[in-house]
Amino acid sequence: MQIHNQEMDAMLVRLARLRPWREYPNLFFWISFVTLNGLLFLPIYMLNQETNTFLPSPAEFAAGVWPGLSQLMIWRDNLDPFRLSLELTLVAALWVNVPWLRRRPLRTLVVVLYLLALAYYIYEALMVTIYLADPVFYSQFYLARDGLPFLASALQTPLWAYGIALVVFAVVVAVLVALVNGMLASGSAPRLHPGTRVTVALLALLCLVAGSVYQFYTARPEMVVSSLGFKLEKNVEASIRLYDDIAGFDDSTARNVYDYTGYRLDQQPDIYLIFIESYGSVLYKRPDFRVAYSALLTELEDQMQDAGWHAVSALSESPTWGGGSWLAYTSLLFGLRIDNQPQYLSLFNKYQVEDYPSLGRYLASQGYHYAWVSAIEDKWDDRRWAQYARFMGIDQLLRFRDLDYAGPGYGWGPAPPDQYMLHYANEVLKESTDKPLFFSAITQNSHYPWELPPAIVDDWRTLNQEEVKAPAPDPDEIDHATKRQNYMRAVEYELRMLTDFILKNGDEHSLFILVGDHQPPQVSRRADGWDTPMHVIAKDRALVDAFTGYGFVPGLEVESPEPALHHEGFYSLFLNVLVDRFGADHVARPAFLPAGVTPGVQNKAIVN
């Protein structure tokens, strides 16, 4: 028995001293290398797995063998994780073939660089997926700085959840550090097979050839050989270019184009400009969406026609995708293409001391009362809201606290039911001024994660009742098919609610403009584009028909899913229509700029 115990103790000692990367260096090296390499490309696949396959698609060979091999080995639109990192492969090849590099400081450097590389690939995946935008440090730094605190407050995540997330993060980093160290240790083992050294060297040579031939293309996520170096170079160049464009912005072009002081309106109908959150042209691009959407539009159009209302519609290209609503509605109201956060902040600060000639300020000069409604629970203090009102040129701002709402919150924010928000705000504004109204708002109940919307009721006041609402499910636990159903349900709620609002509040002279801010995240894809529906609705048939000269078509449904204008082009288009319909006689219409004014060097490309 004593001899048996001694043997067991000796075996345990041997197991304790066992280092798998030394006992099985080739196996451990390749497992570590393939895992670390795949992890770089896994985030973008995971965020887009509904529209991509895990393995390269056989459809790549539909056009023939050679085109198929080209797509398989060089460029694949399918964002699967089976790709090669140029830098990781090169480091691995040098490590296993150049002994004098195997030093502790360099080992530490490799570990740190890999962690930074993985962080960058995650960052790129988020930007490409959520905003369909290339990573640009200068832009996304401000977006994160301003957006993450707002996101955290909106999510209302308890502190213990952050603690758990921090522990999980530390564990993941520790595992990654161990994995990189294991790869380096097995790569320097004396028993590493020459075949492993040659194979990884050939892979590195392949990557270097690809990097030399395709260069900046290796910065694209579709490339099979991916280069972090070219990604960083592209990012830095774009950041510098964006900084220069913003710093050199001269608003003299915009001021000249939008100098409408000579255009007087003899009539001033009430104007309602309502942005519908996440109302995108994806509704036209997916067959199942389009069938349900078309049937809904036909039903609502019949209701409007029976009540004497007319509608025209078009698609308008938004400057943002999947988020950044403020960029969309500011672009539309200012007639400027504002597609990034630092540009927005630059304008925000600039027009605290100067007045920008926006659509709202022009209408105010024509006797309108310019009102803005923000239904989401307040995340700003009074000073910040005062700055926002100054920036936009708003006469009256209604915030969440001004809506006298005590009922349950819905969705993002949370926020009151949009039906309550619009009716309450309209009633307050009608009582507060005798001027014609320019009413601007953005809906909230169609914001991701598309929680079950409230019912549309006959008396909107009954929505303001305290009640216990069932907690919303975790968005991460909802499958893709259900998300699509929830999105369609949210769109249906908004359009039915807005139709009800128009029929109950509009008069013979009212003009309603309903426009999407951007495509919905998660249920739309790159191929769906950046377009959003825009509807113009009024009883004044001549006013509505005037929009058909600018690409709008009669009815609520668009025949061709191609954009007729850009959001930033609406300002000059709208002034054309207003001046033509309500302007003083013998006054030439202002110039129409379909793409508005683009800050920076592109101002020179503007044509009237």
pLDDT in tens, 135-152: 999 988 887 887 666 666
Distance of alpha carbon 90 from alpha carbon 265, whole angstroms: 68
Q: Please give the distance of CA 238 from its chain centroid, rounded to a whole number.
A: 19
- Report the amino acid identity of residue 362: Y
Q: How many CA atoms lie within 13 A of 23 on its CB side?
A: 7
Residue with tokens 């539309």: 332
Q: Give φ, ψ of 81 to 5 degrees.
A: -85, 5
Distance of alpha carbon 87 from alpha carbon 207, whole angstroms: 9
Distance of alpha carbon 519 from alpha carbon 496, whole angstroms: 19
Assign 381 to helix, strand or coil: coil
Q: How many CB atoms lie within 10 A of CB 18?
A: 10
Residue with tokens 């400057």: 319
pLDDT at position 137? 92
Question: Which of 87, 583, 454, 531 lies closest to 284 in space, CA to CA?
Answer: 531
Integer angstrom CA distances of residue 132 from 62, 72, 324, 529, 602 = 27, 23, 12, 9, 21
129 within 8 A of 323, measured Cβ to Cβ: no
Distance of alpha carbon 563 from alpha carbon 550, whole angstroms: 11
What's the sign of the alpha-carbon dihedral 541, 547, 551, 552? Answer: negative
Sequential DSSP letters for 48-73: TTTSS-SSPPGGGGTT-HHHHHHHHH
pLDDT at position 530? 93
Instruction: Name, in order, each residue with C-beta under 8 angstroms of 2's C-beta and a sequence gap of 6 or more.
Output: none
Q: Residues 233-241: contacts with CB within 8 Å, 24+ apart?
A: 234/134, 235/134, 235/135, 235/136, 235/137, 236/137, 238/134, 238/136, 238/138, 239/136, 239/137, 239/138, 239/139, 240/138
Question: Which of 534, 500, 502 lies closest to 517 in space, CA to CA?
Answer: 534
* Residues in the chain, pLDDT under 70: 1-22, 59-71, 147-157, 466-476, 585-587, 599-608
308 within 8 A of 509, measured Cβ to Cβ: no
Question: What's the whole-model pTM score?
Answer: 0.84
Distance of alpha carbon 88 from alpha carbon 110, whole angstroms: 9
Q: How many CA atoms lie within 13 A of 254 on its CB side?
A: 26
Instruction: Name, in order, each residue with C-beta under 8 angstroms of 114's C-beta and a sequence gap of 6 or more.
Output: 36, 88, 176, 180
What's the sign of the alpha-carbon dihedral 68, 71, 77, 80? Answer: positive
pLDDT at position 605? 37
Each domain of the chain, given as residue ranges in start order, spans 2-243, 268-605
pLDDT at position 189? 83
Pick the CATH number of 268-605 from 3.40.50.10320, 3.40.50.620, 2.170.270.10, 3.40.720.10: 3.40.720.10
Distance of alpha carbon 318 from alpha carbon 276, whole angstroms: 13
Q: What is the CA radius of gyration of the chain?
A: 29
Sequential DSSP letters for 252-290: HHHHHHT--TT--BS----EEEEEETT--THHHHSHHHH
Q: What residues are paired with 439 via a beta bridge? A: 272, 371
443 within 8 A of 517, measured Cβ to Cβ: no
pLDDT at position 606? 40
- Please give the torsion angle defined by the CA atoms of residues 463, 467, 473 and 474, in that order, rounded to the nearest 10 degrees: 100
Residue with tokens 């109302």: 279
Tokens of 105: 């400081």
Instruction: Name, in order, each residue with C-beta under 8 angstroms of 469's C-beta and a sequence gap of 6 or more.
Output: 408, 409, 410
Distance of alpha carbon 540 from alpha carbon 551, whole angstroms: 19
Question: Which of 106, 101, 124 lies closest to 41 in space, CA to CA?
Answer: 124
Q: How many CB atoms lie within 10 A of CB 215?
A: 12
End-to-end Cα, the chain, rounded Å: 99
